[in-house]
């Protein structure tokens, strides 16, 4: 299946960009923080990328070498990323984002990614160089740090290395808060297939009028593949905004869609929530969003309510609610795994919450039929509304399996597996982690074990949660192990007496997942400790804690081996009984937090 090239797009990203070399009128618009715009036609993108490719070769890099890129400006990032790709060099995007915390954590992440990828060069900018220079002594294979203004200054002609579709195109380090992000190996063939899948089969793009508008970070798969790679493969112009501009003023996202008559955009749930909350009615009055025909949503659990609120807020701006395109994907599958059919909008499944805990997704209508809940608020508490994320693309497959790896039927909850030509070969130089996630499925073929839990109905997938209790807050992934470890470093908390989990909250940031920490400690300093825990989390992860619960020693539910059980703790918390009962023993051999996520 993966041995063929896709039919509707070129076989490599280099070929795709070269095919656009006559496009003078079409290309990318980069909006700067001050609102001014830089237009770069596809032809110019190609010319500058070839120039940078030749420069990188002149600096001694050869095909297959890795180039780490920590560049905040979208235009410079895109040109450098493409420059590496044109020369057969493997770009490794690194978050340039610095958050309001100590710099040490950032240095650790950069050093890890540079070392894990074996990068020869680290590319940055004159302003951000100060934040990456300190890692140089920690990266023995790194030959140097270069800034983008030094790149392509001299003309080194054009390099023409042979690039095969099976060659590695870039390394996508998975966003996450673990101390060890993993580099997903994405080949040209993966990119070509996934681009064809989501741009053509998913979005039904039309190059005669479609235009993307995005503020998504480009060091992340959704921004990079969704708007830089997929659009080059399919000749679609894009307007790029800096991520920080959107967060500072969410309105700019809609302004640019309005101004440029954008037809395609994409964002995680939290962004739709932010707009619904922050946008004033008077702001909406000036907007005409009737042009927007695809508003994708992915990268974190999708809340139907958030999208409904967004649609209601933007109804006066003629936003078509059928433009919403819920989807499911992950870096290990290049980007997209499933899309709903376009123009079907948000379709949901309302199920019994209790049935879900037991592994079935029973439609909630049976509650009403049985007359179990007459009070409507009770009914709300007993049901869960899940958003339909659609089905896999042609030549790709999806399966739901139980713990033993057997295929499950409709409405049975299990791990989501996917296979097909978009699925990566694995993690770069991580054979063990690769073997854990990419392995034989029920039919003997190799599948990607996504680690997500979900079920299907007539082939369409609903995502319920994460097998390993990964916590996703506002599009950022956190592993409980990491959060718990930091809390257990505090003087009054002991290792193994902390549980981190997430709950669905309708808070100031809109509806979404929020972090809760439960810790066993003596009650005397509970208030001070709560504060210390919240501070430790925010300073290490730049993450706000929704709630901290201090419980008496020995009251967290544990497995027989003495490990706290995250799911049971979460359940007790939601029931309001956490800390009231003595420890509850878990079932033998069923630790739900095997601790393997980090």
Partner 1 sequence: MSRSRTELLDVFRATATEVAEKDFNTVAETSTIAELGIDSLGMLEIIGSLERELRIQIPDESLAGIVTVKDLLNAVESRQSVTS
Interface positions with partner 1 (CB under 8 A): 33-34, 72, 97-102, 127-128, 131, 242, 244, 247-249, 274, 278, 474, 508-509, 534-535, 538-539, 542-545
When the beta carbons of 419 and 476 are compared against partner 1, the nearer one is 476
**Minimum CB distance to partner 1, residue 248 (Å):** 3
Q: How far is the CB of 477 from partner 1 (least distance, A)?
A: 14
In this structure, are residues 490 and 557 in contact, taking their beta carbons and an 8 Å threshold? Answer: no
Tell me the closest approach of the beta carbon of residue 171 to partner 1, in angstroms: 24
* Pair of tokens at residue 84: 């590496």
Residue 175 or residue 446: which is nearer to partner 1 going by CB? 175
The Cα-based distances of 549 to 553, 556, 584 in angstroms read 12, 11, 17
CB of 178 to partner 1, least distance (A): 18
Min dist. Cβ of residue 317 to partner 1 (A): 20
Joined together, the tokens standing for residue 484 give: 């718990």
Q: How far is the CB of 267 from partner 1 (least distance, A)?
A: 13
Q: Which C-beta is closer to partner 1: that of 166 or that of 178?
A: 178
Q: Which two tokens stand for residue 546?
A: 């929704």
**In sequence order, what are the residues at sequence separation of 6 or more whose Cβ sits closer than 8 angstroms to the Cβ of residue 493?**
487, 519, 520, 521, 529, 533
Give the long-range contacts of residues 105-108, CB within 8 A, separation 24 or more: 105/540, 106/131, 107/131, 107/134, 107/135, 107/138, 108/179
Catalogue the long-range contacts made by 578-582 (C-beta closer than 8 Å, 24 or more residues apart).
578/518, 578/549, 578/551, 579/518, 579/549, 579/550, 579/551, 579/552, 579/555, 580/555, 581/555, 582/554, 582/555
Write phi, then psi, for 311 (nearest 5 degrees): -60, -40
Residue 550: DSSP 8-state? E
Measured from the CB atom, the residue of 19 and 147 that comes closer to partner 1 is 147
Q: Which is nearer to partner 1, 379 or 485 (CB)?
A: 485
Q: Please report how close the Cβ of residue 86 comes to partner 1 at its closest, in angstroms.
A: 28
What is the CB neighbour count within 10 angstroms for residue 146?
18
Least separation in angstroms between CB 225 and partner 1: 22
User: Cα–Cα–Cα angle for 74, 79, 83, nearest 5°?
Assistant: 145
Decide whether 157 or 507 has the Cβ nearer to partner 1.
Answer: 507
Q: Residue 247 CB, nearest distance to partner 1 (Å)?
A: 4
Q: Which is nearer to partner 1, 249 or 406 (CB)?
A: 249
State in angstroms the smallest separation of the CB of 537 from partner 1. 9
Q: CA-to-CA distance for 514 and 473, rounded, in angstroms? A: 6
79 neighbors 45 (Cβ within 8 angstroms): yes
Q: Considering the complex, what minimum distance in angstroms separates the CB of residue 404 from partner 1?
A: 40
Which residues are CB-neighbours of 315 under 8 A, at least 6 positions away?
Answer: none
Judged by CB, which is closer to partner 1: 397, or 538?
A: 538
Minimal distance, residue 482 CB to partner 1, in Å: 15
- Sign, CA dihedral 131-135-139-141, equals positive
234 in Cβ contact with 294 (< 8 Å): no
β-pairing verdict for 121-124 and 144-147: parallel
Residue pointed to by tokens 């795994």: 337
126 vs 204, which CB is nearer to partner 1? 126
Comparison of 33 and 394: residue with beta carbon closer to partner 1: 33
| Nearest of 93, 5, 13, 92 to residue 45 by alpha carbon | 13
- How many Cβ atoms are within 10 Å of 6's Cβ, its own excluded? 22
Q: Supply the minimum distance, in Å, between the C-beta of residue 284 and partner 1.
A: 17
* Residue (222 or 264) nearer to partner 1, CB: 222
From residue 585, give the alpha-carbon distance in Å to each of 62, 319, 494, 499, 500: 57, 52, 20, 16, 19
Distance CA 83, CA 65 (A): 13
| 307, 329, 253, 48 alpha-carbon torsion, rounded to 10° | -170
Helix (H, G, I), strand (E, B) or coil at 312: helix
Q: Which is nearer to partner 1, 169 or 274 (CB)?
A: 274
Half-sphere exposure for 82 (CA within 13 Å, toward CB):
32
- Nearer to partner 1 (CB atom), residue 27 or residue 242: 242
- Beta bridge partner(s), residue 510: 507
């Amino acid at each position: 299946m993966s041995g063929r090239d896709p039919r509707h797009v070129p076989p490599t990203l280099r070929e795709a960009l070269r095919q656009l070399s006559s496009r003078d009128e079409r290309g990318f618009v980069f909006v700067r923080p001050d609102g001014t715009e830089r237009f770069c036609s596809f032809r110019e993108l190609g010319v500058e990328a070839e120039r940078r490719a030749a420069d990188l070769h002149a600096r001694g890099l050869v095909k297959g070498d890795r180039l780490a890129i920590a560049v905040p400006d979208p235009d410079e990032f895109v040109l450098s990323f493409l420059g590496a790709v044109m020369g057969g060099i493997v770009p490794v995007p690194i978050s340039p984002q610095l958050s309001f915390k100590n710099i040490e954590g950032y240095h650790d992440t950069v050093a890890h990614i540079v070392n894990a990828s074996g990068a020869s060069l680290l590319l940055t900018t004159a302003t951000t160089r100060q934040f990456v220079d300190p890692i140089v002594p920690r990266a023995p294979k790194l030959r140097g740090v270069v800034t983008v203004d030094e790149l392509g200054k001299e003309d080194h002609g054009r390099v023409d290395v042979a690039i095969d579709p099976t060659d590695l195109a870039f390394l996508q380090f998975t966003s996450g808060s673990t101390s060890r992000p993993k580099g997903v190996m994405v080949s040209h063939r993966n990119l070509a297939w996934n681009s064809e899948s989501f741009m053509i089969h998913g979005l039904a793009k039309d190059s005669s009028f479609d235009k993307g508008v995005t503020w998504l970070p480009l060091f992340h798969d959704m921004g990079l593949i969704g708007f830089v790679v997929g659009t080059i493969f399919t000749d679609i112009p894009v307007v790029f905004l800096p991520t920080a501009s959107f967060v500072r003023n969410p309105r700019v996202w809609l302004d640019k869609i309005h101004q440029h008559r954008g037809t395609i955009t994409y964002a995680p749930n939290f962004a739709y929530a932010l707009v619904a909350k922050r946008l004033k009615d008077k702001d909406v009055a000036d907007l005409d969003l009737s042009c927007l025909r695809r508003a994708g949503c992915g990268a974190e659990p999708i809340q139907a309510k958030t999208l409904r609120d967004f649609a209601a807020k933007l109804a006066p701006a003629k936003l078509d609610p059928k433009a919403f395109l819920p989807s499911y994907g992950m870096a290990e599958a290049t980007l997209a795994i499933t899309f709903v059919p376009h123009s079907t909008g948000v379709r949901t499944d309302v199920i019994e919450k209790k049935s879900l805990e037991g592994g079935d997704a029973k439609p909630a209508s049976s509650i009403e039929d049985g007359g179990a809940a007459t009070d409507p608020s009770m009914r709300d508490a007993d049901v869960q509304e899940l958003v339909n994320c659609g089905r896999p693309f042609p030549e790709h497959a999806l399966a739901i399996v139980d713990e033993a790896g057997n295929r499950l039927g409709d409405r049975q909850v299990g791990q989501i597996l996917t296979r097909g030509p978009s699925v990566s070969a694995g993690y770069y130089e991580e054979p063990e982690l690769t073997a854990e996630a990419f392995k034989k499925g029920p039919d003997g073929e190799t599948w990607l074990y996504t680690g997500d839990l979900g079920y299907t109905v007539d082939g369409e997938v609903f995502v319920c949660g994460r097998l390993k209790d990964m916590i996703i807050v506002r599009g950022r992934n956190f592993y409980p192990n990491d959060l718990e470890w930091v809390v257990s470093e505090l003087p009054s908390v002991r290792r193994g007496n902390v549980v981190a989990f997430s709950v669905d909250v309708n808070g100031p940031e809109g509806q979404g997942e929020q972090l809760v920490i439960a810790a066993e400690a003596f009650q005397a300093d509970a208030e001070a400790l709560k504060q210390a825990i919240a501070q430790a989390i925010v300073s290490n992860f730049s993450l706000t804690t929704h709630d901290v619960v201090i419980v008496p020693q020995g009251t967290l539910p544990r497995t027989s081996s003495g490990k706290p059980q995250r799911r049971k703790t979460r359940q007790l918390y939601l029931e309001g009984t956490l800390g009231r009962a003595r420890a509850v023993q878990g079932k033998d051999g069923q630790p739900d937090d095997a601790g393997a996520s980090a």
